[in-house]
Amino acid sequence: MGTALVYDEEMTKYKLLWVDPACKIEVPERLTASYEALVRSGLSGRCVSVPARQASDAEILLVHSEEYLEAVKKTPYMTLEDLKEFTLQYGDVYFHPNIYHCAKLAAGSVLQLVDSIMTGKVRNGIALVRPPGHHSMRGAANGFCVFNNVAIAARYAKQKYGVKRVLIVDWDIHHGQGVQYCFEDDPSVLYFSWHRYEHQKFWPHLRESDYDSVGKGSGAGFNINVPWNKVGMENSDYLSVFCHVLLPAAYEFCPDLVLVCAGFDSAIGDPEGEMCATPDIFAHLTHLLMNLAGGKLCAALEGGYNLTSLAQSVCQTVQTLLGDPLPRLANLRSPCISALESLQCARSAHRQYWSFLKHAANPPLPEISTKPIKLAKEEEEPAETAEEESSGEAKVWPEPPQRSCPPVCSASVLPDDVAGADGLKRLSTSGALQPRLVNKLKNHFTKAADDGDAVATISRLHTLMEKMLTNEIGNGLALVPDVAAATMCFAQDLASDLVDRVLVVCVGNATGLNYVTTDGRALVVHISGEDGEERKSKYYIPVRLKQGCGDTSGFLQAVLGLLLPLGYEYDPGLVLLGRMPESGVGDGMWQQLIGLLRGFAKGHTLVLMQANEEACMGPTASALLGHPAAPLQELGAPFPQDGDALERLRERLQADWKMLQTTGRMDC
Ligand SMILES: NCCCNCCCCCC(O)(O)C(F)(F)F
Ligand SMILES: [Zn+2]
């Protein structure tokens, strides 16, 4: 199933008709720059084009009051003076004779997306719309927004399709207070937002944008705010919040539909956000959400004011929705102290509501000052003169890397002529496999199996990997006689000759995995039901689940809170996933694991399974091909006591691995 794209140039046909420094950045070119970049890159041609439509009164009234709708209905007939007058009653927003028409199109466009996804016409999609929506409230326009496009879509999906749980992820750099107000007492809608806050000094200056607004009544726990109290947040800060707050909660919530308030003012270069995360981060943020709700993801454009980073970010998002391999995120740094404090505050505020946080450290939180904040003189744009504007130190960043999409052929058992001892000899003579390697491999394997088929296996694996690294194939699946041996020899000998870093993930009980790689050429994360061999090296991480790998909630916590952050920090060139015999891991969890691991190494994942596990071939190949993993149902059960062990392990490891940190030094 494909990716829907909703765009209508009619939504470019309104603009600011008077001087207002606060609103001048919201221009029609935001939409044309985004759409034209999709056309130029060929991405729009790969999408299913879905027409926009006007939202009906009934649909708008799902969120807004009748008197507000009636008032907005009058704006097309207003004179310029009346429009100015009308605008004064709201904050940081402007009206135009055509904005009501465009606002109905913006809301209707997102509903068209919901229809396309819920009827199975497409898997996911994006609506390029303006005016944006997440600030508008039941009875008021605000922050360039007239109707709350995403809030209407959430109510619409529940009403029309009986959707039980909707996750709304708001990665725009402003707090979508309109969405928070709409659902704060509603446990069927989980709203997550990060936003520039600077201790309430940043617009919209709301006390309720802070991390302690967790929702009200039965909605308590279903509103997650992560305030950024400093500018300059980077990719690692964003990924840490996804791994340690949003994703565990999202998986525990188990949504039937994911809506994204896709604002790109959180990218580098944006004058509003002043953050430093690069456009390719949105490829990963999108990917990390794509295995939820069976892949049903609907993104709606919100903000984004630097036309270059906006266009690049939109392209990164759409290319991921289409299933293309992700770019590697080079040299992630450790999250900054301020980000860690925000992360810790959000986790502490939600500790009582979420099982994954039950065992989280609970250090004292800083006092939230109750004294009124003093704003800089009236929130007025400093009147920048033309030359000042040009002289402002313009941020520069590298163009996101090309993301070639290899033929999505994944599972492949190679032609027999490669198999067999002579195959290996040929490999060694072809220089593909240095003779010294051949011996290493042989003595490695001859222990395990008779020379013939072991050697055949090795040559097959080696060829598979070479084809992957030349991008001839995206990923691979190999059935081997002895998974543990193959995994180790592969990681130790084969892979390290072809890539600089191999992430080795072993699932299930096995011995002999704890060879020490001091040079860091391989990082082994071994998730099993028994105590792994003790840790001799930073690069061998045994994760023990007392209830075994069949315990999906414990397994998932290990994947989200440990494996993902480690993988991002390690940034491997290849991922090797070994499924040990009788691992007990469920098919759904197994597919989720493959789906998430595909985000590393440009999707180059090699799965090794025991020859006799044909039953698992189908689900594995499906996940390798990029089909969304089946939603995990069994997450209702609270996390097992493993949660405590996993939290302790994470705390122990964070000295070596910065992306595992979740607490800042609290100078409260
Ligand atoms: N320096 C100018 C002050 C501007 N203050 C208002 C900012 C509104 C942000 C709107 C948005 O980006 O959140 C949306 F997604 F809704 F478009
Ligand atoms: Zn914004």
303 close to ligand 1 (CB < 6 Angstrom): yes
pLDDT of residue 348: 96
**Residues 6 or more apart in contact with residue 486 via CB below 8 angstroms:** 457, 458, 461, 478, 480, 578, 608
Largest Cα–Cα separation, the chain: 89
Q: Which of 274, 275, 273, 266 is nearest to 313 (CA)?
A: 266
Report the 10 Å Cβ neighbour count for 120: 9
pLDDT of residue 645: 87
- Provide the β-strand partners of residue 124: 3, 297
**DSSP states of 166-195:** EEEEE-SSS--HHHHHHHTT-TTEEEEEEE
Q: How is residue 422 written in tokens?
A: 């002579």
pLDDT of residue 405: 64
Phi, psi of 634 (to 5 degrees): -65, 10
Start-to-end CA span in the chain (Å): 51
Query: Counting every residue, how long is the chain?
Result: 668
Is 135 a catalytic site residue? yes
Strands 522-528 and 189-196: unpaired
Three-class SS state of 68: helix
Average pLDDT, the chain: 88
Highest mean pLDDT among 167-176, 421-430, 511-520, 658-667: 167-176
Q: What is the pLDDT of residues 566-578, one digit of tens each?
A: 999 999 999 999 9
Element (H, E) at 409: none
pLDDT of residue 454: 62
pLDDT band per the 50, 70, 90 thresholds, residue 41: very high
Q: How is residue 583 written in tokens?
A: 């691992």
104 close to ligand 1 (CB < 6 Angstrom): no
**Residues 6 or more apart in contact with residue 377 via CB below 8 angstroms:** none
Whether the per-residue pLDDT at 658 is higher than 60: the answer is: yes
Which ligand 1 atom is the nearest neighbour of the CA of 173? 13
- Is-contact 505 589, C-beta < 8 A? no
Whether the per-residue pLDDT at 63 is higher than 70: the answer is: yes
pLDDT band per the 50, 70, 90 thresholds, residue 478: confident
pLDDT of residue 513: 73
Q: Which whole number is the average pLDDT over 413-418?
A: 40
pLDDT band per the 50, 70, 90 thresholds, residue 451: low
Q: Which whole number is the average pLDDT over 210-221?
A: 98
Which ligand 1 atom is the nearest neighbour of the CA of 133? 16
Ligand 1 pocket: which of 135, 136, 173 to mutate (most atoms within 8 A of CB): 135
Q: What is the pLDDT of residues 293-324, one digit of tens each?
A: 999 999 999 999 999 999 999 999 999 999 99
Which ligand 1 atom is the nearest neighbour of the CA of 26? 17
Q: Which whole number is the average pLDDT over 94-112?
A: 98
Q: Which of 314, 292, 308, 304 is nearest to 247 (CA)?
A: 292
d(CA 363, CA 662): 11
* Sign of the CA dihedral running 434, 440, 443, 446: negative
- Among protein residues, the one whose CA lies closest to atom 9 of ligand 1: 143
Which value does ipTM take for this structure?
A: 0.98
CA of residue 543 relative to chain centroid, distance:
24
What percent of the chain shows pLDDT beyond 90? 66
Q: Which pTM value belongs to this model? A: 0.93
**Residues 6 or more apart in contact with residue 184 via CB below 8 angstroms:** 191, 213, 215, 216, 219, 222, 223
pLDDT of residue 477: 84
Whether the per-residue pLDDT at 33 is higher than 60: the answer is: yes
d(CA 168, CA 166): 6
Report the 10 Å Cβ neighbour count for 531: 9
172 close to ligand 1 (CB < 6 Angstrom): yes
Q: Which whole number is the average pLDDT over 228-243?
A: 98
pLDDT of residue 435: 55
Select which of 96, 135, 244, 444 is catalytic. 135
- Is-contact 302 272, C-beta < 8 A? no
92 close to ligand 1 (CB < 6 Angstrom): yes
